[in-house]
């Protein structure tokens, strides 16, 4: 993907349907904390990631506390999207959610009806199975390389290539 928004991006697709698709870039950490971004949020040492080029006036969250946070949707095994915002703040204040349990995103990645299907058919994307460790345990700056390497074969070779193809 040569689009600078998605070059070497690891994207988790959270919704895909007839009206389009939504996902979050997992490996673009910002320099902003959740407390700098959201003024009424309890003191919480959690970074914010840039979820994509759309909706930079929105904040989203992926977490592993779907059993405790009503209204969240399981998007992959053990990974939940959203949930009751007031309950989230309560759970943070009560230390029922730790920074290691959640990732915040400003903005998201979005595709119109059939756009992602067409991009996949053109070979613009490499797909991989989601692993909860990618979200909560892998360092963001190594995630793309790790996902590609885990696919094996030619993808492992691509993972080791310099970003600037002229240097290979």
Nearest to 73 by CA among 125, 138, 12, 162: 12
Tokens of 85: 């915002």
State percent of the chain over pLDDT 70.
91
Q: What is the rounded average pLDDT of the residues 106-128?
A: 92
Give the SS3 label for residue 62.
Answer: strand
Lowest pLDDT segment from 43-47, 156-160, 162-166: 162-166
For residue range 22-73, list pLDDT tens digits in order: 999 999 999 999 999 999 999 999 989 999 999 999 999 999 999 999 999 9
Residue 104 has pLDDT above 50, yes or no: yes
In the chain the first and final C-alpha atoms are separated, in Å, by 17
Q: In this predicted structure, what is the pLDDT of residue 168?
A: 42
Question: For the whole model, what pTM was predicted?
Answer: 0.89
What does the alpha-carbon distance between residue 161 and residue 155 come to, in Å, rounded to a whole number?
A: 10
Domains of the chain: 11-130 (3.40.1740.10)
Q: In this predicted structure, what is the pLDDT of residue 164?
A: 55
């Amino acid at each position: 993907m040569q689009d600078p928004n998605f070059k070497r991006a690891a994207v988790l697709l959270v919704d895909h349907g007839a009206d389009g698709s939504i996902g979050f870039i997992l490996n673009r950490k910002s320099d902003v904390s959740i407390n700098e971004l959201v003024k009424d949020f309890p003191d919480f040492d959690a970074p914010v990631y840039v979820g994509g080029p759309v909706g930079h006036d929105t904040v989203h969250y992926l977490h592993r506390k779907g059993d405790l946070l009503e209204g969240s949707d399981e998007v992959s095994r053990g990974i939940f999207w959203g949930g009751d915002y007031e309950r989230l703040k309560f759970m943070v204040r009560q230390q029922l959610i730790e920074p290691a349990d959640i990732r915040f995103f400003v903005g998201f990645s979005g595709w119109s009806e059939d756009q992602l299907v067409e991009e996949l058919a053109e070979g613009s994307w490499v797909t991989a199975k989601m692993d909860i460790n990618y979200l909560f345990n892998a360092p963001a700056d190594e995630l793309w390389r790790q996902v590609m390497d885990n696919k094996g074969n030619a993808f492992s070779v691509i993972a080791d290539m310099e970003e600037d193809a002229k240097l290979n």
